[in-house]
A and B are shown apart, each in its own frame.
Chain A
């Protein structure tokens, strides 16, 4: 079934050529292993501590939002001319992170990359949670968030529609579509597993809750048929979203006329950046989770290495994007573009530009070397570095382009306040908290899909 003939040297080559699951597992062992995490009676101490910390950080975000709504966006460091800063950096960063989830679950599904199976569930969860974090920013960065619903095309007594020429409008559609498709896709994929949990649950409350979530799934052939059809259709729908969402986000900048924003290369470059950041985040999450929950059998080195290769490839596209930005600025002969690049290289934020280059271009080149791809510690470190680098990329694109645009008389500087940081770190807390809830109560690896990649399943299919 798999055309992927690469052989993992860590594994016994006498088994199968594509060991995306360690040998020795049966249908029962797979189901037991995954379902027991969600159904386990005892909550591990580590979970309680981790959840407690992330909940507190989440509360920092809630406090920041409360203060923000009471006082105004002026608590952040945004100013004139830097109207967007941490708010939009974080929006783009979170949305970008979300991308890997959709890519893994939809595109890799359509490409029949079966190694995706063990990571797609939590990659999708990550997508949803990242989109939730991202969605906070466009809402709360407005001056009057209680009126932000005006950005939706809701029939109203004012007789006003949104202004459809604005890329922010496109954003509203792109992000809301993305969020809803991702949520439905994720949920549909969960239905058979919820049914499994329902059937295995011992506590009455769990039975009821999982039962409701399972929506009457009985595992009949008809169910499976409908399920497969729906899932494929949704995968088909989600696939263009992987490309479109970040392309639309990039329109926020390309439609603008600010040097450093107004570039045709942005859509592909943003999509590549999103995949880059997304896989870095999946790795950052997968590595500790497989360790803590003993899932090394399901999330194997093969997964990690495949992801590192995708990271390397998308990282090269991003690096090409940086090169092209510089080249275009020079080749255009436009003095504003020229200054923009010089300002990145040598201006007041040059240190961060070069840090970005180090993080996103230089460090990931280590992944060419097998030794680094095989080392979990180095993969984790590289992923962290790339996440920082991708955040810096948005910092360079947004405030650094804005702070020196056309008229030197209106140039300014930007520095974040403690509220910028509390909001950013708060959303990380929100994200991690949601992940903790997810791994505790939802099967984080797709049980039934894992069973299909067992050798036993293969046999069946062969019949």
Chain B
């Protein structure tokens, strides 16, 4: 018997027994044994043993067991019946020391590909996620989604039981129902059976579905997810006649042309690509040259912000731009490039690309139509990049299909009443399927609908059967990374809420319905790896340990570009007055993370918005439509006008956000909001862009009608002001300027002599410091969530963000320089500066913030009375005050996810970045035990560890050889607000752009 067979009734039964005491207890057991509820209870609890009840011999044995387990329930008064022995460690499990964390490798899948992770586990509770240094997609770094997965795991709103039309049911009754349906389907070869999944790269899951399809050959498998890479796949099909997986080698490229590709932020490859890209742009260790990035894009993206040249363009213009560049490179495109206003750009880029043959790459964005992807393939091929900067392999998906076409087919089958049984594994199509398909209505035609998901979401509401899905940290599974490398997903904890993995739900459709996902995954790989039992065991253990299965990366393959590749492309879309750009949300993605407070409160790149999305419009468009969006009075509130957007006969109302750099007449709508059944955190946050997203234009749509709507809407943002006001805050310059002025300092910048009333501190041992390379920072915000997870930072909610009381210890300031239509964007992560002359320390009346012997500015929470003077006097405003009781001390599951090394702060105390002092202490203890000093790299702060571009470096500045000390020797190194004589330990390295003079003059 395992956890999954319990359910809520045990609580009422237990409490009824609890109210009796002592001897009476045993009498009442007999009494209640005769009630119909108890009979029912037994049948549900032990379906396989229910028959024993009627068998006189078996019954006695059964009653003994029953009595014992009921006694346990009565004694402990738990709502959950302990099903396995709980005992203290009498003999300590191998490798586990209480108080010391263990790390396990696993992988997270998002957008169809895996990101390898290492998960920190304290006494069996996963508490922190890091990237897996061995994994090709991670290289030790992670993104915000992976960092926030811990909170999703412990989400108290997750679905907890199998339900049938809203009523709790045991899993066995679902198995029974499936069995009955399968008998029927068997007779018709599964003709009326459909399976809908998200993009599947799990080899085991694919094998399971395929074997199901062998048994039921007329059944169909559909795949759909809103943020899938359908366009890239179809583009490859156009260019090569078959789906092809493209791997870009940014570490080999001198010149990069991005056609609306946000390769630094979007998709599971972003972490790796960001590192590769930045490896060619680091101006450290004597390196003086950088690669060059041109970005043409239809909404401001991280990639555009880091580009040396960025051109905002409406979606319809991007295709023409690509066509012009291709034509310029002498490629037959089958179309005439229309005249463009950006001829200088095109000439400059063409020239630059031709000069750097084989060392450049052209990348098309996932949201661009297949034709643009095919153009990019053709350009890469013509420039000789294939094999050097562009690598082709077979697709990593088990069954690459066009998701929109796939779900279209499913809907039409459902509408014509050809489907009796629909199994939806993951995903939330009722919410996120294209609006014109009306998935919900079509689903009404299906007799039996089964949905497996983490939450009781919009789709679950319309399915009779709902199965709680196990979170990936509770599951055995597998997945492939962008290059095909397979990883085993191993669980860190037994399912908290009786979740079932997709493998287990699929197994219910096989003749071994009770196989666990461990058996399924292991058996699959046993068959794949072959060899003896012992040999397999060894390989299996290695795969689990490493987090990947060696030699599973797909081999490089040559694909010939079709001569007439352009023949099959759909015609270019016409340009219209207003165009709409649909994008997954930067923090809650396609809506699946809507109930994750960390991601909801994570300020979105550029807008710093939290808890809502907004229709992004350019300043010129806002003026033309008479729209206003301005800060309110409370500190974080933003009062925005609303617009009505009508597209394809559907209308939504959305608040606007005026975004510099947004192309004119182009409105960006982020998906993922407007959920109605996301949970307590994510419900009813406006607005749902899916409502106007149709199957013929899922990424970019033309021909929308836009008008100002009546009301204003209050948004919550963490940054109101994005201009530097002529202050020396973010140092930047062109590469040329850097060569002549390596400090990038403003002209009137003088030397500051350190002056202090007090004796300077002496640091004889360690002196901790940090250097942040603004040139490398891409503003992806992974560090912010990593810090939140590591340091038990609470979520405060929209109303408190409106009051400007968010608690993030690390914030990313976004600054614009230059014209509003196309500004340069700079990201500046701001943690505590740990000043030598800390203004906060002097003013605390109770010595709650003090200087440590190693130069840390320590915060003593126990001592803090909360005068907030330190925060007022902090010129960097990095201190955060618990104005109210922000920490949740009540919700049980949330307690499990906290870092036991870090104090959970209560109301009324100040807190701030500690340089992850707990990590410093652990390293010091380890070093002491090994009788050595701490080596450079032993300590990584949470933000540093997760940073994809290694922009943050922490270490001992007393050690001249440490990386941080060497970075501080770089001429680009500068202190923020040095003129205040605070002498910060955190310093910055200025940002450099490798501009092309041909374009500068354009």
Interface flag for B557 (CB, 8 Å) = no
Query: Helix, strand, loop or mixed for chain A's interface?
Result: loop
A143 touches B865 (CB 8 A): yes
Interface flag for B416 (CB, 8 Å) = no
Interface flag for A460 (CB, 8 Å) = no
CA distance A49 to B985 in the complex (A): 62
Q: Which of B636, B846, B885 has the most CB of A within 10 A?
A: B846
Which segment of B243-251, B585-593, B837-845, B893-901 sits at the interface? B837-845
A142 touches B883 (CB 8 A): no
Chain A 74-92, CB-CB to B under 8 Å as 1, else 0, gives 1101111111100000000
Partner of B634, one of A79, A151, A257: A79
B residues less than 8 Å from A258 (CB atoms): 872-873, 875
B residues less than 8 Å from A145 (CB atoms): 865
CA distance A409 to B871 in the complex (A): 15
Q: Which residues in chain A, 115-131, are within 8 Å of chain B measured between CB atoms?
A: none
A160 touches B863 (CB 8 A): yes
A residues less than 8 Å from B872 (CB atoms): 81, 83-84, 256, 258, 402
Interface flag for B71 (CB, 8 Å) = no
CA distance A380 to B864 in the complex (A): 44
Q: Smallest Cβ distance from A228 to chain B, in angstroms?
A: 39
Q: Smallest Cβ distance from A327 to chain B, in angstroms?
A: 21
Interface flag for A412 (CB, 8 Å) = yes
User: Please, which residue of chain B has its CB at the minimum distance from the CB of A147?
Assistant: B865
- Knowing A79-B804, A256-B873, A402-B872, the reply to whether A74 touches B883 (Cβ < 8 A) is yes
User: Please, which residue of chain A has its CB at the minimum distance from the CB of B977?
Assistant: A406
Q: Smallest Cβ distance from B561 to chain A, in angstroms?
A: 47
CA distance A161 to B876 in the complex (A): 28
Interface flag for A169 (CB, 8 Å) = yes
B803 touches A79 (CB 8 A): yes
Interface flag for B631 (CB, 8 Å) = yes
B871 touches A415 (CB 8 A): no
A413 touches B633 (CB 8 A): yes
CA distance A252 to B873 in the complex (A): 10
B635 touches A80 (CB 8 A): yes
Q: Smallest Cβ distance from B89 to chain A, in angstroms?
A: 35
A167 touches B843 (CB 8 A): yes
CA distance A329 to B814 in the complex (A): 28
B residues less than 8 Å from A161 (CB atoms): 847
A409 touches B719 (CB 8 A): yes
Interface flag for B815 (CB, 8 Å) = yes
- Knowing A83-B881, A413-B631, the reply to whether A148 touches B876 (Cβ < 8 A) is no
Partner of A79, one of B632, B635, B721: B635
User: Please, which residue of chain B has its CB at the minimum distance from the CB of A84?
Assistant: B872
Q: Smallest Cβ distance from A345 to chain B, in angstroms?
A: 15
B residues less than 8 Å from A168 (CB atoms): 843-845, 867, 869
A residues less than 8 Å from B864 (CB atoms): 143-144
B980 touches A166 (CB 8 A): no
Interface flag for B188 (CB, 8 Å) = no
Partner of B805, one of A79, A407, A408, A410: A79
Q: Smallest Cβ distance from B783 to chain A, in angstroms?
A: 16
User: Please, which residue of chain A has its CB at the minimum distance from the CB of B882?
Assistant: A143
CA distance A84 to B885 in the complex (A): 19
CA distance A170 to B631 in the complex (A): 37
A151 touches B865 (CB 8 A): yes
Interface flag for B210 (CB, 8 Å) = no
Interface flag for B960 (CB, 8 Å) = no
User: Please, which residue of chain A has its CB at the minimum distance from the CB of B725?
Assistant: A408
- Knowing A79-B635, A82-B635, the reply to whether A72 touches B908 (Cβ < 8 A) is yes
B868 touches A84 (CB 8 A): yes
B813 touches A407 (CB 8 A): yes
CA distance A162 to B719 in the complex (A): 35
CA distance A258 to B874 in the complex (A): 8
CA distance A163 to B860 in the complex (A): 13
Number of A-B contacts (CB under 8 A): 194
Q: Smallest Cβ distance from A175 to chain B, in angstroms?
A: 12
Q: Smallest Cβ distance from B43 to chain A, in angstroms?
A: 49
- Knowing A72-B908, A415-B634, the reply to whether A151 touches B722 (Cβ < 8 A) is no
Interface flag for B270 (CB, 8 Å) = no
B residues less than 8 Å from A353 (CB atoms): none
B residues less than 8 Å from A408 (CB atoms): 721-725, 727, 729, 815
Interface flag for A141 (CB, 8 Å) = yes
A143 touches B845 (CB 8 A): no
User: Please, which residue of chain B has its CB at the minimum distance from the CB of A255?
Assistant: B843
Partner of B883, one of A72, A167, A414: A72
Q: Which of B720, B806, B811 has the most CB of A within 10 A?
A: B720
A163 touches B845 (CB 8 A): yes
Interface flag for A301 (CB, 8 Å) = no
B884 touches A72 (CB 8 A): yes
Partner of B881, one of A80, A404, A415: A80
A residues less than 8 Å from B909 (CB atoms): 143-144
A78 touches B877 (CB 8 A): no
Interface flag for B118 (CB, 8 Å) = no
B875 touches A405 (CB 8 A): yes
A257 touches B873 (CB 8 A): yes
Interface flag for B562 (CB, 8 Å) = no
A148 touches B884 (CB 8 A): no
CA distance A169 to B242 in the complex (A): 75
Interface flag for A276 (CB, 8 Å) = no
A409 touches B828 (CB 8 A): yes
CA distance A405 to B871 in the complex (A): 12
CA distance A73 to B864 in the complex (A): 14
CA distance A404 to B721 in the complex (A): 10
Interface flag for A172 (CB, 8 Å) = yes
- Knowing A160-B847, A166-B845, A168-B869, the reply to whether A413 touches B720 (Cβ < 8 A) is yes
Partner of A256, one of B726, B806, B839: B839
CA distance A257 to B844 in the complex (A): 14
A residues less than 8 Å from B634 (CB atoms): 77, 79, 413-415
A80 touches B865 (CB 8 A): no
A413 touches B882 (CB 8 A): no
Chain A 293-325, CB-CB to B under 8 Å as 1, else 0, gives 000000000000000000000000000000000
Q: Which residues in chain A, 138-195, are within 8 Å of chain B measured between CB atoms?
A: 138, 141-145, 147-148, 150-151, 160-163, 165-169, 172
User: Please, which residue of chain B has its CB at the minimum distance from the CB of A170?
Assistant: B845
A residues less than 8 Å from B910 (CB atoms): 143
Interface flag for B429 (CB, 8 Å) = no
CA distance A405 to B874 in the complex (A): 10
A77 touches B865 (CB 8 A): no
A80 touches B813 (CB 8 A): no
Q: Which residues in chain B, 17-33, are within 8 Å of chain A measured between CB atoms?
A: none
A143 touches B908 (CB 8 A): yes
Interface flag for A335 (CB, 8 Å) = yes
Partner of A163, one of B720, B846, B883: B846
B633 touches A415 (CB 8 A): yes
User: Please, which residue of chain B has its CB at the minimum distance from the CB of A414?
Assistant: B635
Q: Which residues in chain A, 389-435, are within 8 Å of chain B measured between CB atoms?
A: 402-415
CA distance A77 to B804 in the complex (A): 10
B865 touches A256 (CB 8 A): no
Q: Which residues of B contact A (CB under 8 A)?
A: 631-636, 719-727, 729, 800, 803-806, 811, 813-815, 828, 830, 839, 842-847, 863-869, 871-873, 875-877, 879-885, 907-910, 976-977, 980
Inter-chain pairs besides A79-B635, A406-B875, 12 sampled, C-beta below 8 Å:
A72-B882, A83-B881, A143-B867, A143-B908, A144-B866, A166-B843, A256-B873, A257-B839, A407-B830, A409-B811, A410-B876, A415-B633
Which 10 A-B residue pairs are closest in the complex by CB-CB distance? A143-B866, A143-B908, A409-B813, A74-B883, A83-B868, A74-B884, A410-B877, A415-B633, A168-B845, A163-B847
Between A and B, 26 residue pairs with Cβ closer than 8 Å are A72-B883, A72-B907, A72-B908, A74-B803, A74-B883, A74-B884, A79-B636, A80-B881, A81-B804, A82-B635, A83-B872, A142-B865, A143-B864, A160-B863, A161-B847, A162-B845, A163-B845, A256-B873, A258-B872, A408-B725, A408-B727, A409-B722, A409-B828, A409-B830, A413-B631, A414-B635
Q: Which residues of A contact B (CB under 8 A)?
A: 71-75, 77-84, 138, 141-145, 147-148, 150-151, 160-163, 165-169, 172, 252, 255-258, 335-336, 339, 348, 402-415
